[in-house]
Amino acid sequence: MAESLDLETPPPAAGAQPYRVLARKYRPQSFKALIGQDAMVQTLANAIRRDRIAHAFLLTGVRGVGKTSTARLIAKALNCVGPDGQGGPTIDPCGVCEPCRAIAEGRHIDVIEMDAASHTGIDDVREIIEASRYAAVSARYKIYIVDEVHMLSKAAFNGLLKTLEEPPAHVKFLFATTEVNKVPVTVLSRCQRFDLRRIPATLLAEHFARVVEAEGAQAEPEALALIARAAEGSARDGLSILDQAIAHADLAGGGVSADAVREMLGLSDRSAVRDLLGLVLAGDAPGALAALRRQYDLGVDPLGVIRALLEAVHGVTQVKVGAPDDMAQPAEERGAYRDWADKLSFPLLHRLWQLFLKGHEEVQRAALPIETAEMALLRAIHASTLPDPGELARRLASGTMPAPAAVAPVPPPAPPSPADRVPSEFAGVLALLDELNKLELLVRLKRGASLVSYAPPEIVLSGARPLSTDTLTELAAVLREATGMPWKIAVADAPGAPTMFEAEQDAVQARHDAARAHPIVAAAFEAFPEAELIDPKPAKRSIT
């Protein structure tokens, strides 16, 4: 499980062996050596003990977390016969019987590995289907390990479905993929799925320490922590970086140091990043730009500097919310984060995060990365000197904000000369449309225009009664032509007056109510309950 980091490398064959890279040399040879995947190992162990072994497994996760290694371990677990040759399936394969050794060395005839990236067609799948009909030659199960299964063609997936759903009892399928979203749901539904997690940096650092010790090398803990962070949860990526770091250290005549790893990976020195963040928070623009240029001259990628600043802001925020200390960080870094956490507010930290994140995106796609990084720093410096909105409100409420300097009032612009036909109120606009025979536009405005304000040549209508853009544009054009002056028709998020149609309906209802209140009309309604009040038809045409 995760507590055990026993490397358990397979015994080397007799004779001189060529050098094997660490990522291959230290592949886990048992589930105990598989780090960071406790939940999956527990599930498999229970399934094997209860004889509830699925006929197909799908292993998914980012690169280097152990998908193919896990598939080989499952193959060993299912085919192990024990040292005496009498054992059955077990979560702890012995590693010494012939099936275990043959599978570890990749030569077992009944464990077939296929790379779907180079065998994508239906013909490749047909070979699997035909071969699966025959019993295993020497093993308990015939096992097919298909790596990067999402690369299979649609026809290949379809050809595999029937066999995958009802395989022979002696056949097991083990699929591995980094892009599970590309695997058809018809395949997913026929497999038992395991999502392998990214391996935590602390476990990776411990694992790398064991590897360094096994290799007879030396490495600083901080160097291993840097490698673990750079691996981003991938054991294979981390071992490849460690391999390079050990080779670099050998050439330098010493152990793997943190400074050497930073130089090798092009990482910004963490103390330099803290100094840079301090300059940003102090509002020292010249100092911050000079510090950034020093990092750039040393070969540090500007994108790496912005990323390191993001990590620093995140680290300070973690401390401020009370998260436990990251022991992989140097003591002086933890102390600096605690100091900043005491001084900086959450709004400022969130603002810095957003600014650096935006800067990271800009630098990533910029034609001039260092110049873009400098502009991102200047933007953050400017923002860091501004009070957050809450503090600004408190200052205004307490009267501690400095009074603005007296400014001479600017005279309003001279109002435009009104034309003869400029209506004095909005109802006049509707009357003008009626006069101009713009009846369709008039009907739309009478039913939908809710007036907020009318100050020629500007009309503000309520957005609560949305009118189409074409209606507003047409109204402005008609008024401009009729009055000889440009009009601005705006929409505001504010309640407005009733529409002209609603006002007319209210007036009608008021007249009816007043009429019903008259004694004669009331008596008429008592005598004729089914009677109703109607208005006389208007003399001019109705446009409602």
Q: What is the pLDDT of residues 182-200, one digit of tens each?
A: 999 999 999 999 998 888 8
Strands 451-455 and 458-462, sheet pairing: antiparallel
Burial class (CB in 10 A: 0-12, 13-18, 19+), 130: exposed
Complete domains list, the chain, with CATH:
37-195 (3.40.50.300), 270-391 (1.20.272.10), 420-544 (no CATH)
Q: Using a pLDDT cut of 70, give the percent of the chain over it.
A: 86
The pLDDT value recorded for residue 143 is 93
pLDDT exceeds 80 at position 491 = yes
The pLDDT value recorded for residue 97 is 92
Average of per-residue pLDDT across 449-473? 83
- Check: CB of residue 244 under 8 Å from CB of residue 280: no
pLDDT exceeds 90 at position 145 = yes
Spatial separation of the C-alpha atoms in residues 465 and 468, rounded to whole Å: 10
- Check: CB of residue 332 under 8 Å from CB of residue 319: no
| b/e burial code for range 479-498 (CB count within 10 A of at least 16 → b) | beebbeeebebebeeeebbe
**Which pLDDT band holds residue 394 (cuts at 50, 70, 90)?**
low
Spatial separation of the C-alpha atoms in residues 41 and 47, rounded to whole Å: 10
Which two three-digit tokens encode residue 267?
């990482």
The pLDDT value recorded for residue 353 is 92
Q: Which residues contact 128 (CB under 8 A, 6 or more apart)?
A: 112, 114, 144, 160, 163
* Choice among 128-142, 251-265, 463-477 with the minimum mean pLDDT: 251-265
Q: Which residue has the higher pLDDT, 115 or 521?
A: 115
227-240 pLDDT, tens per residue? Answer: 888 888 888 988 99
Average of per-residue pLDDT across 499-503? 84
Spatial separation of the C-alpha atoms in residues 477 and 15, rounded to whole Å: 94
pLDDT exceeds 60 at position 337 = yes
CB atoms within 10 A of CB 309: 28
pLDDT exceeds 70 at position 258 = yes
